[in-house]
Structure 1
């Protein structure tokens, strides 16, 4: 069975996508602070592992800049109006990454930009690992069903810690101690458990 069918991740063959975590969404997306916190941890891990990182902003003139707590200062932001992150600029950037096999995807909204991006990437033959605890929507029904929808299409639904440990693979990895510090404390609770147990208390 080929690697593309079982979902292996490697730090040299994967790219991290961070989708539209912007100021105007702050008070409208469920679990927004927690989702950004988890995405920030993914960003820190990607930097430690020297992985490529793509950050997009949906119509920043109207929806504002990427929130500072993501920690994406200094990274290029790709502006877009389409829901998919796969703009011509981003596609050109992906073309510069040798041996690219997988995209690790975080951000908002799950039923819109995350789903559109996932389908476009799958159509291009790339593995997509959707980090469920780093994705959200205004509606938790949309979030849950979008995760189910992209799984039906062939994406891998996972968690931030699952992805990070899969990238490192071995406690003997030269960067493991730095990674261990990032995952020592469990990721922020972004409401996933309540989705799967049929309860849906939103943070106050």
Structure 2
């Protein structure tokens, strides 16, 4: 299996909207992971695609993710949708035009939109990676079941720090120093996300 390459990867952020702020289990912990991934995307020049589920009713994407800091060439857009999967035609076209081989998926809900996005991508040439410390649901119990189903169906389940080290690949890389600084500055938020979102799931992964 070829190594994941930043040049052929996108970060998909699924429906992290205002209305979900008080409803999603471990919302702030999940946001910490996603914010770290947005910073890493800027460092590694990985483009980002964001969706909003029915934004008129559920609000816009929260500002804490840091999407406003992305340069135009990395921010591929925020797309409104009613379909649960992120694989709406406009996004599928982007993935095909850019020959995207890997998609890192974060957001909500793990058992609905995240799961359906991952399963849809399995039918394409883009391999989905789910960050277990970057997805959540309203009901905590749904999360490990969704992750186990995705893993069983062939989706790679990993963590934010693990995937980032894969992407950087080599400590001799000129990106390693700023990357190491990002890992260091996000150390506490990473611990919080892991303890909040994964401690109860370990037996299911």
- TM above 0.5, one fold? yes
How far the C-alpha of 1:197 sits from its partner, in A, is 5.8
Task: Specify which of 185, 188, 200 is matched with residue 195 of structure 1.
Answer: 200
Which of structure 1's runs of 4+ aligned residues deviate more than 3 A? none
Instruction: Work out whether 1:131 is the aligned partner of 2:136.
Output: no
For the 8 Å contact 2:6–2:46, the answer to whether it is kept is yes
**2:96 counterpart residue number:** 95
Q: Deviations over 1:84-139 (max 9, x none)?
A: 001111011112214x2111110000000000000000111322110010000011
For the 8 Å contact 1:140–1:195, the answer to whether it is kept is no
For the 8 Å contact 2:35–2:65, the answer to whether it is kept is yes
3-state SS in 1 of match to 2:86: coil
For the 8 Å contact 1:34–1:188, the answer to whether it is kept is no
**2:42 counterpart residue number:** 47
Count of residues paired in the alignment:
192
Give me the whole-angstrom Cα distance separating, in 1, the residues matched to 2:179 and 2:80.
30
How far the C-alpha of 1:188 sits from its partner, in A, is 4.4
**1:79 counterpart residue number:** 80
How far the C-alpha of 1:179 sits from its partner, in A, is 1.1
- Does the C-alpha gap of structure 1 residues 104 and 197 become closer, same or farther in structure 2, counting only changes over 3 Å? closer
Alignment RMSD: 1.5
**2:22 counterpart residue number:** 27
Give me the whole-angstrom Cα distance separating, in 2, the residues matched to 1:118 and 1:46.
20
**2:150 counterpart residue number:** 150
Q: Give runs of aligned pairs for residues 2-13 of structure 1, distance below 5 A.
A: 2-3=1-2, 8-13=3-8
For the 8 Å contact 1:131–1:158, the answer to whether it is kept is yes
- Does the C-alpha gap of structure 1 residues 118 and 58 become closer, same or farther in structure 2, counting only changes over 3 Å? same
For the 8 Å contact 1:37–1:188, the answer to whether it is kept is no
Q: Deviations over 1:113-169 (max 9, x none)?
A: 000000000111322110010000011111110000000110111000001110000
Give me the whole-angstrom Cα distance separating, in 1, the residues matched to 2:81 and 2:124.
20
User: Runs of 5+ in structure 1 lacking a partner?
Assistant: 199-204
For the 8 Å contact 2:26–2:197, the answer to whether it is kept is no
Give me the whole-angstrom Cα distance separating, in 2, the residues matched to 1:121 and 1:46.
20
Give me the whole-angstrom Cα distance separating, in 1, the residues matched to 2:104 and 2:116.
14
